[in-house]
Structure 1
Amino acid sequence: MSDENDVGEVLAGICEAAAQLILPLWKTGLTVHAKADESPVTEADRRGEALILEHLGRRFPGVPVISEEDASEFGTPEAIGPRFFLVDPVDGTKAFVRGDPNFTVNIALIVDGRPVAGAVNAPPTGETWFTQGGRAMKRVNGGAAQPVRVRPWPKGKAVALISHTMKDETRQKLMDEYGFDLPEPMDSSIKFVRIAEGAADIYPRHGPTMEWDIAAGHAVLEQAGGSVLTPEGRPVLYGKAAEGFRNGWFVAKGG
């Protein structure tokens, strides 16, 4: 394993390679299959995952990988060591199927329950966010990377990124609880990195997610100066094998 400060850039390159494979399949009317939990999966998910697993196996031999589609088909392990990767080859498959642009490729390195490195790519825009040297970076279409940072909470103009399917009464309850002003529906882990780059302020999630859904975005947001905490203010931890790698509620927040 190379220095963890450098792993994020390696993961960014792998995400970008997967994106090049996935993007030509977008808006092509791919057959949508139902997984055991009734969530959708397409050939893009499967091809992207195969490429990512091949690259990780070559670059980081011996480091375990927990990946969404493999976990869906074969189940999650009963135990996991202190160091492993979490992979979601297409986060936001429903958006991908609808033809919406908010889907992402995600890889995170977990060490002792914390996401120490990660990369998130948005294939339709060519944007990649990744961790490097304790900072969050962004590059577009392979160009020069620039650091990104959360913005201070803009009183009266705070933007919350929420689910497309959120009911009006739930949205109002969250507005009252967290004090944001402008709810904006958005799919996938791109919510984390939009907060990380200062384009939004909060993502309250009072609903189920899996560890691979959020770990990469969590890593980027944290190194951009933000936080991902439980509603009680405790850290969100990873490697919860006993819970099938499911997350509880959390709040992702900028400055």
Structure 2
Amino acid sequence: MGNQLESLHHIALEAGKAIMALYHTHVEVTEKADRSPVTAADLAANAIIMKKLALLTPDIPIVSEESAHTPWSERKNWQTFWLVDPLDGTKEYLRKNGEFTVNIALIEHGRPVLAVVHAPVLEKSWLGDGSRAWSVINNEWSLIKTKATLPPVIVGSRSHPSPALADFLAQFSQYQMMEAGSSLKFCLVAEGQAQYYPRLGPTMMWDTAAGQCVAESAGGQVKTLEGLPLSYHREDLLNPFFVVSHS
């Protein structure tokens, strides 16, 4: 598992370099069918990840935001697959605020069990293997754990503020708010900088799997509003609303 996690980290770093090679150029944006933006950086990172994962694990299928999606009739029989968002936070990328990530997760029986979240501008990665989580800077691996603090820090989306957030916040007498883009929000909970991340707006499977693995590996929980684990063995690629918490 350790060697595979290191290999995964190297793939994410390589994808990050491809993204950064285009970061300071004029970025052409096209719209996908769902009106979400896609850039040459998304596609360059996707090409690297798809190629390298196919070499690393030739027998494991891949679901990526930027590749053709396999129908549920075939996916439902998969015990194991990779779930990839080559550039999570394309809007953050276009705003050049640095808050975008490369997300790669291994799904087994509907659960993310191995993952990397890499933030190219921050030159930092977060990794999880299902039982432990690390932050990595300059190839220095540091174990991270979730942490309870009072008042809690609640992290929200920079691009998707939600009117339902006020209802969630009503349960706390005191709290501090923090904003972040992409799956960095999961990582802030994982390393104890935030205690909750309520996601009360739309996300897709590939947006969340890697961050979920990191948060859970660090001791956190990711549950739907009904209190169920967020699972990836399902037909709908759109996630239900969920809350990430420190425990």
Name the TM-score, length of structure 1 as normaliser: 0.90
The aligned counterpart of 1:155 is: 150
Q: Distance in 2 between matches of 1:96 and 1:33?
A: 14
Deviation at residue 8 of structure 1 after TM alignment: 2.5
SS of aligned partner of 2:18: helix
| Equivalent of 1:115 in 112, 115, 120 | 112
Deviation at residue 134 of structure 1 after TM alignment: 2.4
The aligned counterpart of 1:187 is: 181
The aligned counterpart of 1:20 is: 17
Correspondence 1:106-255 to 2 at 5 A = 106-132=103-129, 134-141=131-138, 143-152=139-148, 154-156=149-151, 158-165=152-159, 169-177=163-171, 181-240=175-234, 242-243=235-236, 245-255=237-247
Q: Distance in 2 between matches of 1:203 and 1:32?
A: 29
The aligned counterpart of 2:59 is: 62
SS of aligned partner of 1:41: strand
Q: Distance in 2 between matches of 1:180 and 1:161?
A: 14
Decide whether aligned partners of structure 1 residues 38 and 132 sit closer, same or farther in structure 2, where only a CA change above 3 A counts.
Answer: same
The aligned counterpart of 1:37 is: 34
1:203-236: per-residue Cα shift (whole Å, max 9, x none)? 1011211111000011111010001011121111
- Would the aligned equivalents of 1:18 and 1:51 in 2 still touch at CA under 8 Å? yes
1:55-97: per-residue Cα shift (whole Å, max 9, x none)? 0000100100000011xxx344223101000000000000000
Q: Distance in 1 between matches of 2:95 and 2:21?
A: 15
Decide whether aligned partners of structure 1 residues 126 and 18 sit closer, same or farther in structure 2, where only a CA change above 3 A counts.
Answer: same
- Would the aligned equivalents of 1:109 and 1:118 in 2 still touch at CA under 8 Å? yes
Instruction: Tell me the amino acid that sits aligned with residue 247 of structure 1.
Output: N
Instruction: Tell me the amino acid that sits aligned with residue 221 of structure 1.
Output: A
Deviation at residue 100 of structure 1 after TM alignment: 1.0
Deviation at residue 6 of structure 1 after TM alignment: 4.3
Decide whether aligned partners of structure 1 residues 52 and 239 sit closer, same or farther in structure 2, where only a CA change above 3 A counts.
Answer: same
Deviation at residue 169 of structure 1 after TM alignment: 4.8
Decide whether aligned partners of structure 1 residues 123 and 165 sit closer, same or farther in structure 2, where only a CA change above 3 A counts.
Answer: closer
- Would the aligned equivalents of 2:165 and 2:198 in 1 still touch at CA under 8 Å? no
Q: Does 1:7 align with 2:1?
A: no
Gaps of 5+ in 2: none
Q: Distance in 1 between matches of 2:116 and 2:193?
A: 18
Aligned residues, how many? 244
Identity %: 38
Q: Does 1:85 align with 2:79?
A: no
Q: Distance in 2 between matches of 1:86 and 1:69?
A: 11
Gaps of 5+ in 1: none
Deviation at residue 18 of structure 1 after TM alignment: 0.6
Q: Does 1:47 align with 2:44?
A: yes
SS of aligned partner of 1:44: helix
Decide whether aligned partners of structure 1 residues 188 and 22 sit closer, same or farther in structure 2, where only a CA change above 3 A counts.
Answer: same
Deviates more, 1:219-228 or 1:168-177: 168-177
Q: Distance in 1 between matches of 2:18 and 2:120?
A: 9
SS of aligned partner of 1:85: strand
Q: Distance in 2 between matches of 1:27 and 1:186?
A: 21
Deviation at residue 35 of structure 1 after TM alignment: 0.6
